[in-house]
Amino acid sequence: MTLMFNGIGVSRGVAVGEAHVLHRYQVDVTARKLTKKQVPAECRRLRRAIKDAKAQLLNTRDNIPKDAPSDISSFIETHILMLDDSVLNDTPIDIIKSEQCNAEAALQQQREALAKVFGTMEDHYLATRIDDINHVIDMVLRELSDTNENLIGENWKGQIVIADDLTPADTIDMQNHGVAGFVTETGGQLSHTAILARSLGIPAIVGVHNIRQYVVPGETLTLDGRNGLVLAEPTEAMLNDVKKRQKAARLKQRELNKLIDTETETLDGIKLQLNANIEIEEDIKAVKRVNADGVGLYRTEFLYLNRNSLPTEQEHYKVYAKVIRALKGSMLTLRTADLGSDKEISARAMTTPRSPLAHNPAMGLRGIRLCLNDTQLFIPQLRAIFRASTKGPIRILLPMLTNTAEVHQTLTLINAVKEDLRKEGIDFDENIPVGGMIEVPAAAIAANHFASMLDFLSIGTNDLIQYTLAIDRIDDQVNYLYDPLHPAVLQLIKLTIDAGIKAKIPVSLCGEMAGDPRYVRLLLGLGLTDFSMPPNSLLEAKRCLLESKRSRIRKHAMALLETTDAHDQLVLLDRINGN
């Protein structure tokens, strides 16, 4: 009998293979009380386990195939850096000393403390960083217990791995041994394992709860990484269908790769800009691989997180200069620190006292509000941006704008920074464009006013949809209400695009909608010509736009603005997409 399982498809592609079910050894983390004399030896034991775990990761990194994508090693580097970080190195040692407990209990205590911090985060990417912390802690725990499993075997070629979770190192090992795909019981769309699976081209599904209870080792599975569907013991007809789709997918990717060097222009001659969103400097390699026109959104707040002091001006400068040089003349849009809410800085890093956590931090002191409230946080970043501007083209993007007074204050601060740099004899680009994020309904409604003061606008649909519909898209109880097609959302997007056209300034869109094949033609029909998206979404979005005529799409897009019936919305969307 065929069994069907649903999960979150995180890496497209279909696969067929025998099931290999992994059951990891669970390390005992029971707390033990130590005598004062035992504490130094326990600290040495933990440091030795961390050293051994690091050696294991270094070995994995050094054995990455030469023909693998160039950014693959960065995922392993992330875990190596975590093992060097005081959060997982010094703090557990301090716990051992202060509480006279064993290393396992100290690590578990630190894991729980970090889980509380990451559990409050609204940003998907940041919230899923707890997965990486768990992977690293589990590695150290296994070293402490002398239970270092060799998960991936030479005979795994063509098999589909079923596991509770997998680390990036596991994923690289699986690719080296030709695993057909994998399914995990936990994990999310933005975990490093999911991102790595996409980069390596391994079909993958996560979040299939308790699948290991039902799948028998060795039975035939099919895996659909786009739709998040696993079939156990499929019929012959199902197998034939999957094989046809595998062939079609290979042909499609070959066709998409042909578009890498193609300029993006619609069938009716409208030239479009396709930029990439990046989180960290290592993402630049993925940007170059798909030949994006530039970077439409660089989230700089990662420089501030997981540390006990603010990044210095020189730290900012080195990172920005490196990214600009790597882009070789393409534009870098650098969003100033969007901190607060789910991206809190350590209290020890703050230069001004902070009040207790707000009841609703998403609507509290965050984004540009925080930067203007604490200019000692903001000014070093601005100085670094202007200094780096001599290396290549750069734009400044201000997050979370709600009123024009914030723009006035920021422009005044920018002029003061420029004057200081002139007095110091430091070269910089005098004409760096300054733009604003439109991600709050008030800003979209007042887009004409913002457009008259700024050089460009960028629509952040992820937050705009949440704030407009008053829902949290990562809350399982209400995320069904997250609807990019809601007429209020579309009206706000259109207001912003029209404001840019009227003021003759560029308007981009950098939310998830920009890279979603279901919505790119709709956005084109609403007048958008500048899209920014994750690098792995760019080629498919390009294909959709190259095959589009805005003159044909526009009337259906305008009709969608006025439609409230869900069925009618989908009918119009199908017409826009030529279905």
* Residue 544 known to be catalytic: no
Three-point CA angle 378, 379, 385, nearest 5°: 95
- Which of 192, 371, 544, 556 is catalytic? The answer is 192
Whether the CB-CB separation of 406 and 368 falls below 8 Å is answered with yes
Query: What secondary structure does DSSP assign to 308-322, as a single string?
Result: SSPPPHHHHHHHHHH
Q: Please name which of 521, 407, 399 lies closest in space to residue 458, comparing C-alpha atoms.
A: 399
Q: Distance (Å, rounded) from C-alpha 364 to C-alpha 362?
A: 6
Residue 104: alpha-carbon gap to chain centroid: 31
Q: Catalytic pick from 20, 510, 544, 556?
A: 510
What is the separation of C-alpha 232 from the centre of its chain, rounded to a whole number of angstroms? 31
Are the C-beta atoms of 72 and 196 separated by less than 8 Å?
yes
Q: In terms of DSSP bridges, do strands 160-163 and 14-21 run parallel, antiparallel, or are they unpaired? A: parallel
Concatenate the DSSP letters of all residues of 380-400 into one string: HHHHHHHHHGGGS-EEEEE-S
- What are the phi and psi torsion angles at 231 (to 5°)? -115, 130
- At residue 11, φ and ψ (nearest 5 deg) are -145, 115
The packing angle between helices 550-562 and 487-503, to 10°, is 130
At 217, list the tokens: 């080792």
User: Annotated catalytic, 486?
Assistant: no
Euclidean distance between CA atoms 140 and 107, whole angstroms? 9
User: Which residues 6+ apart lie within 8 Å of 189 measured at CB?
Assistant: 8, 10, 124, 128, 206
Catalytic residues: 192, 510
